[in-house]
């Protein structure tokens, strides 16, 4: 591609409303333009990378046996009513009406549409398994769109849906997709990790997220450097840090702790380690009577060690809290504890509450907790002696670095990631309400077993940049760079020698299938270098009069400090070698 036939529009300064580095760089490099909150134009330079991402995905999906089709962006509400998602999805689901007043949605995902296809088209077990996918525009009306294309409202997603005759088949389909995803992100040149993820209401163990590792990621990942254990912190199991409970060694004492509402402050005041304190988190579970009338909320006290954090997803799996909960109001807290937040604890309650201790807390002894009296804590608290054993002991905290790995093979480390893919076993959650069945060998209808597999195409663009940039701009991995190579001729418009050598080189590269761009603007070198470093093309060849006199051009990788001289005759070969062609 000659730049004069393409379109490049860079900015020296990023628009003021850009919040993350990938968004700033994409805007500055002219890859995207914001049209509205969370809605972007993809400019030619951005689209080039997107197409490369899509093609890698497409090739690997096809190789894994999936079949591409295309389902519409606008879908009838009736389909979404069948699965009850019309009611359940909430305001993120964009709802529109046509001219007749009929309800439609703008698809955030396509389970309904694909299940509708499946129930109409799949009649026999002989047609199974099958995996349909498409790469299509999605819309989710995010509460707060941000992070550029990483959490936009409109975005492109590859979503695949497998259909199998039984769970064993679905497991195979799942494994095939898992393997395909490994290949896809590897080919893109990204550092990533497949982590175990929450399965929500569906349960089971088959759910993995593919996380691109980046410090700026929204998700926290726990992994074990000594094994292959990796899980989203939402899910990562926290083992008890105390194997057993030590015998009580102190009497329980009410201690003044004026103004010290946080565990850290109390520990410091009393010169105790933070690990000797217990924090109290009060939740409320709404209750209704048989007729569905609201009853007073049931109040729960969750106890965590002072240095630990509540994991709400884990809490939501505790029996009694699994129907939904919220944080208790201050009124509810005062009513049950007789005290304002800051000095709460399990001892001296005004009204009974249900108590859940984290696994570690359950094995603590001589610990410190609020006294349910403003400006007082108890020290030397012991289970069984000073208060009854907790009603329930559960894993309700986030793991922290240094925790033992759940597989028993070392300790956990934490890192941050950007979720770019998710593979998920669905079972019959869509096929059942939509009555998507096939006939088995005995002519009996059976529900289709499903799995779904998503890749955020446009999010990948941002994630790749978050992972690969420096203060000058983007540094694309070869496979998803808008161009693989840029040729910067110095004096293209006025030096015949440079022009001839450049044209020859450009012709050679194009003929070898290299995706090269020739900067034929005749710009000054500083302008060209700055632009292409911003855009992030990984390989640069500089053709200048000075080098040509020695028979050389210059090669510089975007990560190289300096250019190296390469004989004119060797450069095309060098590039092909670098690109592994």
Partner RNA sequence: CGGGGUGUAGCGCAGCCCGGUAGCGCGCCUGGUUUGGGACCAGGAUGUCGUAGGUUCGAAUCCUAUCACCCCGACCA
Binding site for RNA (CB under 7 A): 10-17, 19, 36-38, 143-146, 261-263, 279-283, 309-312, 326-328, 330, 333, 341-344, 370, 398, 472, 490-491, 494, 524-527, 529-531, 533-534, 542, 544-547, 554, 556, 563
| Residue pair 43/32 in contact by the 8 Å Cβ criterion | yes
DSSP code for 405: P
One DSSP character per residue, 207-273 reads EEEEEEE-TT-SEEEEE-TTSS-EEETTT-----SSSSPPPP-S--EEEE-TT--SHHHHHHHTT--
**Looking at beta carbons only, is 34 or 52 nearer to RNA?**
34
**Looking at beta carbons only, is 20 or 56 nearer to RNA?**
20
**Looking at beta carbons only, is 141 or 508 nearer to RNA?**
141
Give the span between the Cα atoms of 556 and 504, in whole angstroms: 19
CB of 342 to RNA, least distance (A): 4
The residues with which 411 forms a beta bridge, in sequence order, are 404
| Residue pair 123/114 in contact by the 8 Å Cβ criterion | no
**Looking at beta carbons only, is 59 or 219 nearer to RNA?**
219
CB of 395 to RNA, least distance (A): 14
CB of 480 to RNA, least distance (A): 22
Give the span between the Cα atoms of 207 and 427, in whole angstroms: 12
CB of 259 to RNA, least distance (A): 12
CA geometry: angle at 465 spanning 564 and 507, to 5°?
A: 45
Q: Which one, of 126, 179, 136, 184, lies nearest residue 160 by Cα?
A: 136
**Looking at beta carbons only, is 30 or 380 nearer to RNA?**
30
CB of 293 to RNA, least distance (A): 25
The CA-atom distances, in angstroms, between 312 and each of 88, 302, 316, 324, 325 are 20, 11, 6, 10, 9
**Looking at beta carbons only, is 183 or 317 nearer to RNA?**
317
**Looking at beta carbons only, is 217 or 427 nearer to RNA?**
217
CB of 398 to RNA, least distance (A): 7
Q: Which one, of 159, 174, 214, lies nearest residue 190 by Cα?
A: 214
**Looking at beta carbons only, is 232 or 428 nearer to RNA?**
232
Q: Which helix (H) or strand (E) holds 59?
A: helix 44-63
Give the span between the Cα atoms of 293 and 297, in whole angstroms: 12
- How many other CB atoms sit within 10 Å of the CB of residue 465? 28
CB of 490 to RNA, least distance (A): 4
**Looking at beta carbons only, is 134 or 153 nearer to RNA?**
153
Residue 435, helix vs strand vs coil: coil
The tokens describing 498, both together, are 């440079």
CB of 373 to RNA, least distance (A): 12
CB of 121 to RNA, least distance (A): 39
In sequence order, which residues have a C-beta less than 8 Å from that of residue 101 and are 6 or more positions away?
none
The residues with which 220 forms a beta bridge, in sequence order, are 416
The tokens describing 303, both together, are 């106890």
CB of 230 to RNA, least distance (A): 18
The tokens describing 318, both together, are 């505790």
**Looking at beta carbons only, is 33 or 187 nearer to RNA?**
33
In sequence order, which residues have a C-beta less than 8 Å from that of residue 478 and are 6 or more positions away?
189, 484, 538, 539, 578, 579
CB of 47 to RNA, least distance (A): 19
**Looking at beta carbons only, is 516 or 548 nearer to RNA?**
548
């Amino acid at each position: 591609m000659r730049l004069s036939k393409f379109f490049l529009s860079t900015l020296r300064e990023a628009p003021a409303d850009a919040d993350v580095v990938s968004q700033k760089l994409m805007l500055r490099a002219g890859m995207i333009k914001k049209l509205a909150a969370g809605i972007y134009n993809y400019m030619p330079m951005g689209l080039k990378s997107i197409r490369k991402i899509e093609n890698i995905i497409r090739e690997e999906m096809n190789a894994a046996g999936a079949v591409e089709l295309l389902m519409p962006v606008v879908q009838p509400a009736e389909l979404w009513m069948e699965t009850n998602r019309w009611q359940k999805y909430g305001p993120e689901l964009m709802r529109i009406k046509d001219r007749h007043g009929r309800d439609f949605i703008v698809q955030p995902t396509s389970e309904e549409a694909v299940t509708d296809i499946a129930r109409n088209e799949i009649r026999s077990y002989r047609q199974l398994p099958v995996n349909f996918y498409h790469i299509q525009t999605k819309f989710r009306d995010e509460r707060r769109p941000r992070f550029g294309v990483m959490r936009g409202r409109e975005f492109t997603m590859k979503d695949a849906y497998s259909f199998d005759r039984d769970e064993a088949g679905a497991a195979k389909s799942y494994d095939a997709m898992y393997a395909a995803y490994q290949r896809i992100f590897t080919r893109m040149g990204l550092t990533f990790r497949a982590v175990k993820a929450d399965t929500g209401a569906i349960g089971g163990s088959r759910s993995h997220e593919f996380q691109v590792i980046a410090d700026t990621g929204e998700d926290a990942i726990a992994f074990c450097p000594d094994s292959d254990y990796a899980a989203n912190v939402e899910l990562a199991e926290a083992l008890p840090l105390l194997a057993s409970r030590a015998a009580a060694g102190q009497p329980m004492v009410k201690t003044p702790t004026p103004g010290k509402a946080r565990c850290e402050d109390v520990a410091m005041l009393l010169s105790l380690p933070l690990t000797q304190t217990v924090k109290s988190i009060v939740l409320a579970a709404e209750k209704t009577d048989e007729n569905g009338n609201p009853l007073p909320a049931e109040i729960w006290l969750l106890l965590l060690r002072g240095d630990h954090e509540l994991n709400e997803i884990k809490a939501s799996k505790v029996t009694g809290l699994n129907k939904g909960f919220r944080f208790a109001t201050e009124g509810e807290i005062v009513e049950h504890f007789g005290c304002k937040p800051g000095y709460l604890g399990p001892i001296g309650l005004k009204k009974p509450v249900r108590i859940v201790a984290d696994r570690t807390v359950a094995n603590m002894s001589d610990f410190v907790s609020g006294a349910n009296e403003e400006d007082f804590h108890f020290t030397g608290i012991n289970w069984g002696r000073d208060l009854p054993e907790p009603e329930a002991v559960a894993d309700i905290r986030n793991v922290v670095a240094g925790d033992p790995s759940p597989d028993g093979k070392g300790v956990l480390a934490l890192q941050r990631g950007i979720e770019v893919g998710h593979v998920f076993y669905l079972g019959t959650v869509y096929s059942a309400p939509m009555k998507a069945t096939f006939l088995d060998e005995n002519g009996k209808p059976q529900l289709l077993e499903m799995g779904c597999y998503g890749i955020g195409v446009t999010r990948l663009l941002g994630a790749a940049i978050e992972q690969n940039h420096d203060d000058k701009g983007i540094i694309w991995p070869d496979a998803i760079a808008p161009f693989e190579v840029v040729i910067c001729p110095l004096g293209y418009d006025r030096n015949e020698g440079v022009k001839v050598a450049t044209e020859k080189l450009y012709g050679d590269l194009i003929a070898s299938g290299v995706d090269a761009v020739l900067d034929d603007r005749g710009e000054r070198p500083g302008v060209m270098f700055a632009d292409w470093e911003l855009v992030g093309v990984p390989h640069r060849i500089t053709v200048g009069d000075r080098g040509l006199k020695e028979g050389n051009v210059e090669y510089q990788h975007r990560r190289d400090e300096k250019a190296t001289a390469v004989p004119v005759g060797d450069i095309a070969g060098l590039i092909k070698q670098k690109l592994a062609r």
